Structure 1
């Protein structure tokens, strides 16, 4: 294994927690991360100490509660931003004498260059930019720092920042590098990820 070991361990611990919270066993986690079951055990010992917990179940419960609180706080913030944008757009539309036909599109366009709704398998469920129908994120974006599916698994649990490179088969105008903020969905869309990106 190459790279910064001190920086890699906390990242791996986080991945172990995310996958465990998703219901995977230690053997399944080891296979998914490409590490040995003994290494997964080592991460669990560190995680138990960090969370001052007696069992894996207790850690997963604490972790899930933390992530849920963070997701709710983030959702409240996003909701307040959307309210402000919505009020501004309505005032603008009323002030010009007409209600915009596609107010939601205008709001999405003002939030980011690119807004995606992605399921944890990587299928793009919604895009505010033209993309091939039923495409996978990995078919149109390149992620240099690892596997996109791993990022999506993490982002389904907590807000995650990632840089993706848009490539063919996208229109040339959309190709380039984007900094995405990926946020977990709640309610009926739980398990999916909203990705808001800006061209860099």
Structure 2
């Protein structure tokens, strides 16, 4: 600890209240600043992925003026609520929300998978005429395979992985104390 902090009497102590959680006592009247446990970190990661996916889709449509096709709109419908719900879950560090968001993730991921299939596999050109913008259009095609539906599917998969890890961490925390 620096001599300036020692002279002023400001010290903080780390108190280990749980094997997977650290609480830091602050010098202000013994208050505690609680840090996230592993469950909270995984939930925060899931929320971050949903937020980046939502921000990315809004950036593509509002800044770069890419008009979303019908399937892109459906993928957005299943991604956007995750930002709010996962944000609340991360703040509370509770995985009780997982059974309620899994249907959103699975349906959104299914739509993304279908969208990738109609973009990448040989097909009839009239089959994907799903609105004013064709679902076969690739606005973004990095490296010949990374498309907008592929990014959405990646986000849905990462969120699913993070939620299962959060659930597992919460079970471990409950078993340890």
TM-score, length-scaled by structure 1: 0.25
Computing the radius of gyration from Cα coordinates, the structure with the larger value is 2
Does 1 or 2 have the higher relative contact order (CA < 8 Å, sep 6+)?
2
TM-score, length-scaled by structure 2: 0.28
Higher strand share: 1
